[in-house]
């Protein structure tokens, strides 16, 4: 839109701008509206042309071309300003999510408005805040994304009209949104769909609605749906289906969080492993006793992810997760959230059956018609089975439900082996990581209560093993190695003892589901204030690695996991003692002695030769990656760094084949495999998103929903192998 055309649109109360191109603001010198003292420019260079461009360059060019489209009305909707940087010394700190004076200065630069103090804070909303501690820059800074409500801004400060009229989209910096992208929580989305359906029945010529209506016929019975598994996928699928009016039964082999917390306490104190109620099985899934990470690779700003986060906030998560660049909850926040989620489902009429294990599917003519269940608490040989009929079964088990995979194979369900990652968990003093990442700013961490976040890290490297003799030619020579599930300092504050019990002092935790196997994970609480930091260091493994050990078939990956979990248990000497080795000894292929640095793992550690745990090519990959990590994070290789074995359950080792559109299993009708255990998610958020989309898809199949959720929230994306 040209300057001449915008002048013609000036309302009468802005007429002084037409007649006087210069005007004086309070406490400023005269300022020309047509000069650009604060203009931010961004030079872009195209390195290659045509077919020679990299995919990333082609994507950027496409974004540039799309951004060149004229904005129809600059004075409606939202202007989104990204990459606004505020020095850490000028920012109020990580816990402040409002608009500070320093941030107003940065907004004013983009708007080219001369007096930042005249901008009304109420017109701006922080939608993202991250901390950038990269050492290549002059100083650490907080980076913001801010939404400008144009209508509110013009009402509160009319003199910004001319500056808004000159705004133009810039790729990655300035974007115009015709309307607020906030989708609301899932409940409000479903309610809007139901309302649009009711409105459609009263009007023959209503406008087309994205939901296109939803209804239930009172003359027919509610469709009965069984949801197996109460992790994020199962909970969100149950929520959608119940809101649409289905008769939902949620089955969980583990216990509710209250009882599950006590079972974990018994594991810590008396070394009693409840095989159906532990760190993997129970309400909320494996993510309940973890760091509660909400980062995801499926689109942080997508409508589906925002809907999940809004729903978590509705059930008690802090508002901060909607803004934080690396949102996380911590177990102390997840437990009450899950209790609220459960109560809401029960109010909707959902039947929740804890301690109920699904042993088999009831199948008739290649169609699942129900499930066979038993009491997971009854360990006797004569436990009673019960057969329950359903119109559909949503299979939302976690990646440790190995008996379920075996049961599916017995019905001829197509299972495809999938790449995942294995390795060791390394633990450092948190102060060391703070120092490595922040240098002189490390004292601002203050055990999670300071101005900057507790330091974390994420590293990815590619290594080769050309100089290592492999067990067969089938094993891959090149593979990626990366940090996984990094857990900065855990929480040591007082929490409800019955729920969290002694697990609140852990950071490296036991995730075994069988006494003869040993595998571990990391966890931390919301404040991240303990003295330890840990992360898994893992390398990708594939069918070639399984075949090299003579493991074949769809469950070869499961057997691969078991092999090293049993080996780790033997190296630890049993009784859930974890084998450990210092990083320096691991690199030197030696064991200096039995004395090792202190560990957050509470069931005991034993100094062993972890370099003998995996095949030589995997060990070599881990060693090479440690050397490369130390180049990125000088000091990472330290005598105080302790490796723990073994980390194997980074993601599902199989994928259950299903339709991309209906989410229905390709082998059995009426079965809907979803979430991480089915191989379609990697983490809390992506599993919840998968459960949400599958809920809409099944509601549509059952005649409860007649629209398209993709028109509202966008196309569903698969997380694939988790790398977070």
Tokens of 445: 């961490």
Q: What is d(CA 464, CA 466) in angstroms, rounded to the nearest whole number?
A: 6
CB 463 within 8 A of CB 224: no
Whether the bond into 90 is cis, omega within 30 of 0: no
Who has greater pLDDT, 578 or 54? Answer: 578
Q: What percent of the chain has pLDDT over 90?
A: 67
Q: Where is average pLDDT lowest: 176-185, 298-307, 409-418, 426-435?
A: 176-185
pLDDT range class, residue 53, cuts 50, 70, 90: low
Q: Where is average pLDDT lowest: 72-76, 350-354, 653-657?
A: 72-76
**Helices 186-201 and 303-314, packing angle to 10 deg:** 110
pLDDT at position 95 over 50:
yes
At residue 33, the pLDDT reads 34
pLDDT at position 722 over 50:
no
Who has greater pLDDT, 471 or 125? Answer: 125
Q: What is the mean pLDDT of the chain?
A: 85
CB 641 within 8 A of CB 449: no
At residue 297, the pLDDT reads 84
pLDDT at position 188 over 50:
yes
Residue 203 burial by CB count (10 A; 0-12/13-18/19+): exposed, middle or buried? exposed
Q: What is d(CA 224, CA 328) in angstroms, rounded to the nearest whole number?
A: 35
Who has greater pLDDT, 380 or 96? Answer: 96
Which residues of 488-633 form beta strands (DSSP E)?
Answer: 508-510, 520-522, 532-541, 578-582, 605-607
pLDDT at position 327 over 70:
yes
Find which of 330-334, 543-547, 716-720 is predicted with most confidence, using mean pLDDT. 543-547
Look-up of token digits 């330890």: 532
pLDDT at position 253 over 70:
yes
Number of Cα atoms under 13 Å in the Cβ half of residue 544: 14
Considering the entire predicted model, what is its pTM? 0.87
- Closest-CA residue to 275 (of 111, 512, 46): 512
pLDDT range class, residue 426, cuts 50, 70, 90: very high
- Closest-CA residue to 693 (of 711, 679, 669): 711
At residue 613, the pLDDT reads 97
- CB burial string 647-661: b at 16+ within 10 A, e below: bbbbbbbbbbebeee
- CB burial string 131-140: b at 16+ within 10 A, e below: bebeeeeeeb
Query: Count of CB atoms within 10 A of residue 345's CB?
Result: 21
At residue 471, the pLDDT reads 58
At residue 181, the pLDDT reads 60
At residue 483, the pLDDT reads 94
At residue 477, the pLDDT reads 67
pLDDT at position 51 over 60:
no
> What is the average pLDDT across 598-620?
94
DSSP state at residue 639:
T
Per-residue pLDDT tens digits for 112-151: 999 999 999 999 999 999 999 987 788 899 999 999 999 9
Q: Which residues pair with 429 in a beta bridge?
A: 532
pLDDT at position 473 over 60:
no
At residue 58, the pLDDT reads 61
pLDDT range class, residue 31, cuts 50, 70, 90: very low
At residue 8, the pLDDT reads 41
At residue 205, the pLDDT reads 39
At residue 5, the pLDDT reads 43
pLDDT at position 363 over 90:
yes
> What is the average pLDDT across 419-433?
95
Tokens of 220: 């027919």
Who has greater pLDDT, 202 or 74? Answer: 74
pLDDT at position 46 over 80:
no
Cα separation values, 12 from 75, 179, 278, Å: 16, 26, 69
């Amino acid at each position: 839109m040209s300057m001449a055309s915008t002048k013609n649109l000036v309302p009468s109360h802005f007429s002084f701008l037409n007649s006087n191109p210069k005007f004086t603001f309070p406490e400023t010198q005269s300022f020309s509206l047509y000069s650009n003292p604060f203009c931010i420019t961004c030079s872009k260079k195209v390195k290659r042309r045509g077919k020679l461009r990299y995919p990333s360059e082609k994507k950027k060019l496409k974004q540039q071309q799309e951004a060149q489209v004229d904005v129809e009305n600059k004075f409606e909707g939202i202007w989104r300003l990204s990459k606004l940087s505020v020095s850490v010394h000028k920012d109020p700190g990580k816990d402040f999510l409002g608009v500070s004076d320093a941030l107003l200065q940065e907004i004013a630069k983009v708007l080219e408005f001369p007096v930042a103090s005249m901008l009304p804070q109420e017109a701006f909303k922080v939608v993202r805040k991250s901390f950038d501690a990269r050492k290549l820059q002059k100083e650490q800074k907080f980076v913001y994304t801010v939404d400008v409500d144009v209508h509110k801004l013009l009402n509160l400060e009319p003199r910004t009209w001319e500056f808004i009229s000159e705004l133009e989209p810039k790729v990655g910096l300035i974007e115009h949104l015709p309307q607020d992208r906030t989708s609301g929580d899932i409940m409000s989305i479903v309610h809007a769909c139901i309302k649009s359906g009711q409105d459609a029945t009263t009007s023959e010529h209503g406008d087309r609605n994205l939901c296109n209506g939803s209804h239930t016929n009172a003359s027919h019975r509610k469709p009965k749906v069984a949801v197996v598994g109460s992790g994020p996928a199962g909970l969100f699928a149950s929520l959608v289906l119940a809101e649409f009016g289905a008769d939902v039964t949620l089955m969980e082999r583990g216990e509710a969080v209250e009882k599950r917390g006590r079972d974990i306490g018994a594991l810590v104190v008396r070394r009693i492993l409840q095989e159906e109620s532990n760190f993997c099985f129970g309400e909320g899934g494996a993510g309940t006793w973890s760091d509660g990470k909400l980062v995801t690779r499926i689109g942080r700003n997508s409508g589906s992810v925002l809907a999940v986060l809004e729903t978590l906030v509705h059930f008690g998560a802090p508002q901060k997760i909607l803004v934080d660049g690396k949102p996380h909850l911590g177990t102390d926040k997840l437990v009450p959230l899950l209790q609220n989620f459960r109560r809401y489902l029960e109010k909707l009429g959902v039947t929740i059956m804890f301690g109920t294990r699904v042993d088999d599917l009831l199948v008739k003519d290649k169609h699942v018609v129900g499930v066979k269940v038993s009491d997971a608490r009854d360990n006797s040989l004569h436990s009673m089975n019960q057969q329950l009929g359903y119109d559909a079964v949503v299979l939302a088990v976690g990646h440790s439900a190995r008996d379920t995979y075996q049961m599916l194979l017995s019905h001829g369900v197509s299972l495809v082996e999938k790449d995942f990652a294995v390795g060791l968990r390394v633990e450092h003093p948190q102060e060391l990581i703070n120092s490595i990442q922040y240098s002189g700013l490390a004292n601002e961490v203050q055990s999670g209560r300071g101005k900057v976040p507790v330091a974390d890290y994420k590293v990815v490297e590619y290594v080769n093993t050309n100089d290592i003799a492999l067990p067969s030619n089938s094993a891959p020579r090149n593979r990626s190695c990366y940090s996984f599930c990094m857990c900065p300092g855990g929480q040591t504050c007082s929490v409800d003892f019955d729920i969290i019990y002694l697990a609140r002092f852990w950071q490296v935790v036991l995730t075994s589901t069988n006494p003869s196997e040993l595998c571990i994970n990391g966890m931390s609480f919301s404040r991240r204030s303990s003295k330890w930091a840990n992360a898994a260091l893992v390398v990708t493994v594939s069918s070639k690695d399984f075949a090299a050990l003579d493991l074949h078939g769809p469950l070869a990956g499961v057997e691969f996991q078991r092999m090293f979990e049993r080996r780790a248990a033997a190296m630890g000497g049993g009784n859930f003692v974890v084998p450990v080795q210092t990083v320096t000894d691991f690199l030197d292929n030696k064991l200096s002695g039995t004395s090792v640095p202190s560990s957050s793992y509470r069931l005991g550690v034993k100094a062993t030769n972890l370099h003998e745990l995996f095949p030589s090519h995997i060990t070599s990959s881990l060693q090479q990656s440690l050397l490369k990590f130390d180049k990125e994070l000088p000091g990472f290789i330290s005598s105080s760094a302790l490796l723990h074995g073994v980390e194997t359950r980074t993601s599902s080792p199989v994928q259950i084949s299903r339709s991309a559109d209906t989410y229905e299993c390709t082998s059995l009708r009426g079965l809907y495999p979803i979430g991480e255990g089915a191989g379609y998610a990697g983490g809390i958020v992506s599993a919840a998103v998968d459960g949400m989309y599958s809920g809409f898809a099944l509601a549509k199949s059952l005649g409860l929903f007649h629209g398209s959720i993709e028109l509202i929230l966008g196309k569903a994306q698969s997380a694939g192998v988790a790398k977070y």
